[in-house]
């Protein structure tokens, strides 16, 4: 599985997670178990690594795919005037639906790029 394929898997799962849990502000994961954009990615990667029972060496490839996805997100949100992923995610105008939509759009783009 390529890095981009792993990034697609992470993005799709992160979209599900933010839709299920809701959006946190100021925390990766808040006391109500809601997540921000980065928190959704972290939970998605953790779940995938656990589900696949990957060794530390193999789990590293999922963290690299998460980094690739983070670069893609940064490019999108900087085009919207945000300073960082955390800044964009914490904006009151950014909804969990916006975050999920962005994850799914990037997953589609990454699939096309392959």
Q: Is residue 114 part of a domain?
A: no
Q: Is residue 78 part of a domain?
A: yes
Domain containing 50: what range? 3-108
Q: Is 103 helix (H, G, I), strand (E, B) or coil?
A: helix
**Total of domains in the chain:** 1
DSSP annotation string for 50-71? HHTT--HHHHHHHHHHHHHHHH
C-beta of residue 70 within 8 angstroms of C-beta of residue 11: no
pLDDT band with cut points at 50, 70 and 90 for residue 52: confident
How crowded is residue 79: how many other Cβ atoms within 10 Å of its Cβ?
8
- Residues 6 or more apart whose CB falls under 8 angstroms from that of 16 comprise 100
DSSP annotation string for 24-42? -SSSSB-TTS-B-HHHHHH
Q: Is residue 90 part of a domain?
A: yes
pLDDT of residue 72: 93
Q: Is residue 113 part of a domain?
A: no
pLDDT of residue 18: 98
Return the DSSP state at 91.
S
Q: Is residue 88 part of a domain?
A: yes
pLDDT of residue 14: 98
Q: Is residue 60 part of a domain?
A: yes
Q: What is the pLDDT of residues 54-105, one digit of tens each?
A: 677 777 888 899 999 999 999 999 888 888 999 999 999 999 999 999 999 9
What's the CA dihedral at 57, 59, 60, 65 to 10 degrees? 150
Q: Is residue 7 part of a domain?
A: yes
Q: What is the pLDDT of residues 3-47, one digit of tens each?
A: 899 999 999 999 999 999 999 999 999 999 999 999 999 999 999
């Amino acid at each position: 599985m390529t890095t981009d394929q792993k990034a697609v898997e992470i993005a799709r799962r992160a979209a599900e997670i933010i839709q299920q849990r809701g959006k946190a502000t100021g925390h990766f994961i808040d006391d109500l178990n809601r997540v921000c954009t980065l928190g959704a990615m972290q939970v998605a990667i953790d779940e995938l690594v656990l589900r696949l029972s990957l060794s530390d060496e193999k789990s590293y490839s999922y963290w690299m795919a998460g980094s690739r996805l983070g670069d893609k997100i940064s490019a999108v949100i900087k085009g919207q005037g945000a300073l960082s992923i955390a800044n964009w995610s914490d904006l009151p105008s950014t909804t969990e639906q916006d975050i999920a939509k962005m994850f799914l759009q990037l997953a589609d783009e990454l699939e096309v790029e392959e």
